[in-house]
């Protein structure tokens, strides 16, 4: 009962009219953002960060969380009806969802996606409810050496597991670490990389960085992209799947829930990788893999379930360890810091109303999304027809106004423009902004705890290996760092062995 009491109190928090309203608002915005291609939850949360200043911490995080998992639902709609993924995690849904729509089964695809998303999200929340307090209890044994090792491992994992070039991800992460050092040294008071500018003396604020890279940068990049010709959306008939469809997709939903939950916890995992992994798993398990890409119901059920389960479970490392698992969680981390709340092992005990209020809001949010996902399809398709040339300037103006209102400072606006240009150039040349933001957020945590550790250990780096937890984390760091080189070496040996075998056969 001691465990259940704060959980029940959390329902009391989320059912307060104000919090319930912001939960509804968050999931609605999330669905809308999921429908609109290019913007995404990370950019939206970055743009809305200034609005959270005047809201209670628990209310603000409930809304931002709703935007994140609501976007997973919204991205499905355009993937199925228009062959246009509104969100990165819905790219895989295009393969079979659109083919089902062409066969006149758009309603079936959307219905299966909604049911799978609800089940995956709910299983993720149940896992979060029971696993998060255990992880937080374990993490109470963490001291500065453990936090330093964990931050170091988190930065490396995100940089190496990130989509695209690993070298570019590491370069972006290194730049993020460099930005984290700007400002006064918290231990000595010495100014670093300020170039005599008083506005930089307190360091670079997280909000302008996030709004620039994810907000303005995304807008500039998407405007440059060639606009696709408008397509007539497929007609939506009966949205309730048949018994045969439900039976066929039940295994995919179950497997997607488990796979998505565990991949969401991993740094760099998240909804996109989970949906890709779920699709690959279903195709591999299928008796007839050729069905996939031609309208297989499992090709919609698995990925849609997995991305929602992952969206929920990615809150576990953020709330219990203070380590963001992906770029969107890094923005949530920043939002909590803005509110004066530090995510980590103490959060469950020090802010139980916030912790359990946010967790339990996901139960309510998932129910709201299940109810709204189909009736709002027509409205979202109409919104898609609004030209980017109209939406982009309005979004950019909101971003600039938001940046200015934080500190009533034009310097923040300048920072948003600078990082917007950097974000645009990064996207253009194949650099993901996620590792940069994560390294920027974790950089100060890494530096502060590393220096505290060296003071405690009298400058002896070997002391990190004298503590079981920090030693384990550092060994994992070495394994993650060396593993790509081992993989490359094994691949080369395998290729060389194949060539030798071919030559032997040829000579014979």
506 falls in which pLDDT band (50, 70, 90)? low
464 closest CA partner among 74, 15, 146, 8: 146
Is residue 228 scored above 50 in pLDDT? no
**Structure pTM?**
0.71
Token couple for 397: 């103006």
Digit-coded pLDDT (tens) for 454-476: 888 887 788 888 888 788 888 88
Mean pLDDT taken over the chain: 79
* Alpha-carbon torsion (25, 360, 44, 198), positive or negative: positive
Digit-coded pLDDT (tens) for 422-445: 988 988 888 878 788 878 877 887
- Mean pLDDT for the stretch of residues 33-57: 76
Comparing 46-50, 209-213, 363-367, 401-405, the range with the smallest average pLDDT is 401-405
DSSP assigned state of 184: E
Is residue 236 scored above 60 in pLDDT? no
Alpha helices, DSSP H, located in 91-165: 93-102, 106-139, 144-161
Query: 59-95: buried (b, 16+ CB within 10 Å) or exposed (e) per residue?
Result: bbbbbbbbbbbbbbbbbbbbbbbbbbbbbbbbbbbbb
Query: 365-376: buried (b, 16+ CB within 10 Å) or exposed (e) per residue?
Result: bbebbbebbbeb
Comparing 137-151, 307-321, 361-375, the range with the smallest average pLDDT is 137-151
Digit-coded pLDDT (tens) for 266-309: 765 567 678 878 888 888 888 888 888 788 888 888 888 988 88
Rounded Cα distance between 96 and 301, Å, is 10
pLDDT at 267: 60
């Amino acid at each position: 009962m001691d465990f259940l009491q704060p959980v029940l109190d959390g329902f009391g928090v989320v059912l307060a009219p104000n919090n319930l309203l912001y939960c509804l608002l968050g999931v609605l915005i999330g669905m809308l953002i999921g429908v609109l291609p290019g913007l995404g939850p990370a950019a939206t949360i970055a743009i809305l960060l200034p609005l959270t200043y005047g809201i209670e911490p628990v209310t603000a995080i409930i809304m931002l969380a709703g935007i994140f998992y609501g976007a997973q639902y919204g991205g499905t709609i355009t993937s199925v009806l228009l062959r246009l993924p509104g969100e990165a995690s819905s790219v895989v849904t295009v393969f079979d969802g659109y083919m089902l729509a062409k066969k006149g089964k758009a309603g079936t695809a959307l219905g299966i996606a909604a049911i799978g998303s609800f089940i995956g999200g709910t299983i993720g929340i149940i896992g979060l409810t029971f696993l998060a307090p255990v992880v937080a209890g374990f993490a109470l044994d963490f001291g500065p050496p453990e936090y330093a090792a964990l931050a170091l491992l988190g930065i490396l994992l995100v940089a190496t597991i990130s989509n695209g070039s690993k070298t570019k991800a590491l370069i972006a992460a290194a730049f993020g670490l460099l930005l984290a050092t700007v400002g006064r040294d918290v231990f000595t008071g010495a100014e670093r990389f300020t170039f005599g500018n008083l506005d930089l003396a307190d360091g670079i604020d997280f909000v302008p960085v996030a709004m620039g890279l994810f907000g303005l940068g995304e807008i500039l990049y998407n405007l440059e992209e060639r606009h696709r010709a408008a397509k007539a959306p497929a007609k939506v008939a009966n949205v309730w799947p048949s018994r045969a469809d439900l039976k066929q997709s039940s295994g995919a939903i179950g497997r997607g829930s488990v796979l998505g939950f565990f991949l969401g916890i991993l740094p760099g995992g998240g909804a996109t990788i989970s949906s890709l992994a779920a699709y690959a798993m279903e195709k591999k398990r299928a008796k007839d893999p050729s069905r996939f890409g031609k309208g297989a119901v499992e090709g919609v059920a698995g990925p849609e379930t997995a991305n929602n389960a992952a969206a929920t479970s990615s809150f576990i490392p953020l709330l219990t360890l203070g380590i963001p698992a992906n770029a969107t969680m890094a923005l949530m981390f920043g939002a909590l810091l803005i509110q004066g709340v530090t995510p980590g092992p103490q959060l469950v005990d020090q802010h139980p109303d916030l912790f359990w209020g946010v967790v339990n809001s996901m139960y309510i949010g998932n129910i709201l999304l299940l109810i709204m996902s189909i009736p709002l399809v027509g409205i979202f398709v109409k919104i898609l027809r609004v030209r980017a040339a109209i939406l982009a300037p309005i979004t950019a103006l909101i971003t600039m106004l938001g940046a200015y209102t934080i500190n009533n400072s034009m310097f923040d606006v300048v920072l948003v423009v600078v990082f917007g240009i950097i974000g645009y150039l990064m996207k253009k040349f194949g650099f993901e902004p996620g590792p940069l933001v994560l390294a920027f957020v974790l950089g100060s945590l890494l530096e502060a705890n590393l220096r505290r550790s060296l003071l405690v250990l009298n400058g002896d780096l070997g002391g990190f290996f004298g503590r079981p937890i920090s030693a384990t984390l550092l060994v994992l760091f070495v394994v993650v760092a060396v593993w790509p080189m081992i993989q490359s070496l094994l691949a080369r040996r395998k290729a060389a062995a194949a060539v030798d075998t071919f030559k032997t056969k040829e000579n014979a």
